[in-house]
Chains A and B, each alone.
Chain A
Amino acid sequence: MVNKQESLMAAITFFAKAHAGEVCGSNGLPLTPNSIAILGRSQKLKELRHSNLCQYLDVIRGKHERTVVVSEYHGTTLQEKCKDKLNNDLILRLFYQVASALKELNEHKLVAHNLEPKHILLDAYNNVKLFNYGLFYMTKSGDHVAFPIGNIKYMPPERLVGIKNNCKSDIWSLGMIVAELLLQTQFWPNLKISSISRKILSFCQSSNVFEKIAREHDKLEMYQELDPDLRNLVEQCLAVKPTDRPLPQEILNHPLFVRNLDLYLVTPKEKSSTLLLRMPLEQIYYWWQLAGGDVQAELKKEGLIRSEAPILSIPQVVCLNGNIAGPKRSQSYLMDDRVVILKMQNLLDRLSKIPAMAYYPLIHSPKFPYNFGVGMDQLPLVIREKDIEYQFYRVRLFSRLLQGYPYTSETIRKEAAIDIPPLLRGQIWACLLDVIPNGSYEKIDKFTPTSTDRQIEVDIPRCHQYDELLSSPEGHLKLKRLLKAWVTAHPQYVYWQGLDSLTAPFLYLNFNNEELAFHSVYKFIPKYLQWFFLKDNSAIIKEYLCKFSQLTAFHEPVLAQHLSNIAFIPELFAIPWFLTMFSHVFPLHKILHLWDKLMLGDNSYPLYIGISILKQLKSTLLASGFNECILLFSDLPDIVMENCVVESQKMYESTPKSIAHRFHVVREKELGPFDITPDVTLAHLQKEMSPRISANDLHFMLRNDPNAMLCLDIRSVSEFNRVHLPDSINIPFSNINMDEKSLELLNEPLLEEKMHNRIIICISNVHENAVEFSKFLVECGVSRVCILHQGFNILHSIEPNILVSN
């Protein structure tokens, strides 16, 4: 059944129980499909790493409540193996290693409840791994499936009367399995389930179950010849009262094992000669998918997923209570516990040309960053994300870099600017946000009821619910904990609707690492949304939106003009954009790409994203009136994220920092006299259509890239002649006729050509004049117009002198 060389991963599938009849709960909301609940619960299992447990890799929802579970798998099942007689040492080894697996499960408060020989795998070194041990947990003690979990033969008596979730139940099963091996027989091979259950229940009156079974199977002699210690331990495992059975740890400490421990411990495997097989399994699985691996297709091939013509299953009568009369329920919906091995050959072929170096890239080597995947970084992002080779290089590189974090932050930042491999996005974002988990999340109170709870509770079931993980009960619980923790950790702030959307991407990416999700939000908010969550945030939001209008005028003067003419103010549409950093307006997959870039920028970056959205809709907006514009935004049409990202990046890079200056930000450096000074108030911003530029930025451009700007000096001719900036143009304000919006009236030859592609800085000594003039330029459609903050006089103070005179 299993091809030894190739087996590494396998899939099983089953159906979750469909909700009968009623589709809505008492609150009027639809009941969560059980398969979604399973999906949410099963995530935790993926985190288990233990040498005696098969690693869970993925849980997929198929059609009609189907669940597919992908996990590690290799070697032979005990069921196969025990067809031959096993020697005593091997039985002991198995006993020990399964107990060791049970100990790990117990520590995570998991009970397998389906321990049986076919779920015990042995590899070539006779190392033991449990398989499919999470089924009981992920189905919420079996509540979410219609079939019973576990093989009745190995069930303890208490389980038959409905007691579950006690790890001692697994100890009984282990006892039964070992007993079978020791007695070299299969118990009750021909009994019906009902008879087996009667047998098991009858054990309740027995004082020694092991002996009773041995007697029953004519194996009493064999039983009596067993090592008394071993026999005794098995008898303890098969104690009728769960409390009399040993804990996994007690089995592991038993003298029986301790005296020859080396025989029973896991033998370390030789390192595989195939480099790929040394990689973390979750990465291998990820590449396997990129190499064209499709779990559901594999299951179809094996006949585990059978599709039937829907018409054959249409009911003839459906009663109002949900009962259905019609064709018999298809057999393909029944539980089929076959295991399907996922073949590796295709992946191995695809990666055969990868140089060994790429598996473990040396980041401090002079050859770094090598030439892996060279040229591919020019391909569109969506293609890069699906390219197996490219993702191989990226995942390996970032795995390496993440191991070195925080010492590698700079390289991580640099590489992240190229792109971020989706598999590691959550961790990489955390690095970009300078997160260093310190255990503080655990200590935050997430449970005491607060006045915010009601709001959080009504918001969560509406937050990105199209996503399977976020709509699962587990997802709801986690999001609630995160939000409550954030509110508790910030007594100075309050919960504003929108915080839920903002937190969701972090939870989505770090579903199994709430702490990382929490710290990421914790760092993200001050970086981009400082003071937005104050109880009274109006000053912050007003400043933000004013700056947004100014920057729109700066980059898109014609559009800004139009929007201003139709009174289409950002207050009406942009609050959810910025308050949630677009996480409320776009679906998750779009937010991820947007935030990949956002994380690399500073607090002004989101403003450029906003403008790039306007820019994409420009032609429609220009042709529309107020109603059409606002309707367009109520139902934001398909924004192409890639363009949006490229555009915002361009604007972000080409705009001097002071242009986007806001007062309400966390500042790393104190502002100096040549920066935008704090005396610029909201009232100023509201009056000025164009943003101000600082003397510092002007000076910087003058020295480094004077062709990037054009200074329009609107002082009088005499003032200009006395002293001015080199290459500046004098257009005396008093001579300007601004009645008609035309540059020609300025009487400056070739002005338009000179302005092309430059930042236009209006300089005056009378600030109001500069404001008026800049507005005129914007109205003439001139882009990138700004005003020199503090006017011409500030330039006198710059040393060494930058001014010249005629």
Chain B
Amino acid sequence: MATTPRSGGSAGGGTAQRPNGTSQSKSCQFKLVLLGESAVGKSSLVLRFVKGQFHEYQESTIGAAFLTQTICIEDTVVKFEIWDTAGQERYHSLAPMYYRGAQAAIVVYDIQNQDSFQRAKTWVKELHKQASPNIVIALAGNKADLSNIRVVEYEEAKQYAEENGLLFMETSAKTGMNVNDIFMAIAKKLPKNDGANNQGAGAGRRLNENENNRQTTNCCK
């Protein structure tokens, strides 16, 4: 697929959503993509993060779903544009369309399922090869509420994450454990250029989508 949905912050001609009354703070937009094996809980993580909800019978995702959430860290308002992708291997060919131009990725596996961990490693490799070089990748071992029947050991995953320079947390979309934290950790790690506090000046500015520009497109306003 040749088309890119939008890289983070690229202007859509639509209304810019900026929280009001934040003249002091910077505001940034980041494109974040969730990847991982089917039924590991990608959509549930997003749903917990964005709406604070959890559905036991979260429907499978076909193609991809899109949600946004805004959080504040220190003096910066960070808006995540989240692409939640389909997990089935067959939808793999669609994935580049979503991770292309993403500044962050959460690769999710299910701590009860060894295969899903292997699949997560494959995703990490692919991201390192294909995605933006500065992409921040977080590894999430989801379903941590079921740690009594875990198959993937915490230490094993942690070591893997360290070796590959990934953020790592075990999460539970069901209980909410570490869900906000992992997004926060990502937000902290994403570069928020100092030069980006030129609020308003950049509104409506159409940004290029090429690789060189990606870094600066992080913070658009």
Are B91 and A628 closer than 8 Å at their CB atoms?
A: no
Note all chain B residues with C-beta closer than 8 A to A29. Answer: 56-57
Is A257 close to B, CB under 8 A?
Answer: no
Comparing B59-67, B128-136, B152-160, B188-196, the segment that makes contact with chain A is: B59-67
With A572-B64, A626-B6 as known contacts, state yes or no: A566 contacts B13, CB within 8 Å: yes
Known A626-B6, A627-B17: A497·B12 in contact at CB below 8 Å: no
Cβ-defined contact, B149 with A26, below 8 A: yes
Provide a sorted-by-A list of 14 A–B residue pairs whose CB atoms are within 8 angstroms: A455-B38, A461-B57, A496-B88, A497-B38, A565-B13, A572-B64, A573-B63, A625-B12, A625-B13, A626-B6, A627-B66, A630-B5, A630-B66, A631-B68
Q: How long is the Cα–Cα vector from A471 to B65 in the complex, in angstroms? A: 24
Closest to A567 in B: B6
A29 to B91, CA, bound (A): 25
**Pair A631/B39 contact, Cβ less than 8 Å:** no
Quick one: which of B59, B93, B146 has the most chain A CB within 10 A?
B59
A571 pairs with B62, CB closer than 8 A: no
Q: Is A282 an interface residue (CB 8 A)?
A: no
Contacts of B1 in A (CB 8 A): 538, 571
At the interface, yes or no: A488 with Cβ under 8 Å from chain B? no
- A462: contacting residue among B3, B14, B60, B64, CB under 8 A: B60
Cβ < 8 Å to A, chain B residues 1-58: 1, 3, 5-6, 12-15, 17, 38-39, 56-58
- CA of A28 to CA of B173 in the docked complex: distance in angstroms? 11
Which residues of chain B (57-112) have a CB below 8 Å from chain A?
Answer: 57-60, 62-68, 81, 86-88, 90-91, 93-94, 97, 112
Judged by a CB distance under 8 angstroms, whether A415 is at the interface is no
Least CB distance, A637 to chain B, in whole angstroms = 15
Chain A's nearest CB lies how many Å from the CB of B208? Answer: 14
Is A603 at the interface (CB under 8 A from chain B)? no
In the complex, the answer to whether B12 meets A626 with C-beta atoms within 8 Å is yes
Q: Tell me which of A12-20, A574-582, A692-700 binds B.
A: A574-582
Given contacts A497-B86, A567-B3, A579-B62, contact A462 B39 (CB under 8 A): yes
Contact A625 B14 (CB under 8 A): yes
Kindly state whether residue A681 has any CB partner on chain B within 8 Å.
no
Q: A567-B5, A571-B3, A626-B12 known; A631 and B174 CB under 8 Å?
A: no
CB pair A572–B57 under 8 Å, yes or no, is no
B51 nearest CB across to chain A (Å)? 10
Of all chain B residues, the one with the shortest Cβ separation from A624 is B14
A661–B56 Cα distance when bound, in Å, is 42
Using a Cβ–Cβ cut-off of 8 Å, how many residues does chain B contribute to the interface with A?
A: 38
Is B143's beta carbon under 8 Å from chain A? yes
Asked if A634 CB lies within 8 Å of chain B CBs, one says yes
**In the complex, A500→B62 CA distance in Å?**
11
Please, which residues of chain A bring their CB within 8 A of the CB of B39?
A: 458-459, 462
* CB-nearest residue of chain A to B43: A462
CB-based contact A584/B149 at 8 Å? no
Query: Which residues of the partner chain B approach A463 to less than 8 Å between Cβ atoms?
Result: 59-60
Q: Tell me whether A584 and B67 are in contact in the complex, defined as CB-CB below 8 angstroms, given that A565-B13, A625-B15, A627-B14 are known contacts.
A: no
Q: How far is the CB of A87 from chain B (nearest CB, A)?
A: 59
Whole-angstrom CA separation of A496 from B93 in the bound complex:
13
A71–B2 Cα distance when bound, in Å, is 60
Please provide the 10 A-B residue pairs with the shortest distance between their CB atoms, ordered closest to farther: A625-B14, A626-B12, A458-B39, A575-B63, A576-B62, A465-B57, A630-B66, A497-B88, A625-B12, A634-B65
Contacts of B88 in A (CB 8 A): 455, 496-497
**Given A496-B88, A567-B5, A571-B1 in contact, is the A627-B62 Cβ separation under 8 Å?**
no
In the complex, what's the smallest C-beta–C-beta distance from A785 to chain B, in angstroms?
A: 24
- A576 vs B15: C-alpha distance in the bound complex, in angstroms? 27
For window 468-502 of A, CB contacts with B under 8 Å fall at 471, 494, 496-498, 500-501
User: Contacting B90 at CB < 8 Å: which of A494, A626, A630?
Assistant: A494
Known: A462-B60, A627-B14, A628-B15. Contact between A497 and B3, CB under 8 A? no
B71 to chain A, nearest CB (A): 16
Contacts of A500 in B (CB 8 A): 60
* Chain A residues positioned under 8 Å from B87 (CB to CB): 497
Partner of A497, one of B62, B66, B67: B62
A574–B13 alpha-carbon span in the complex (Å): 21
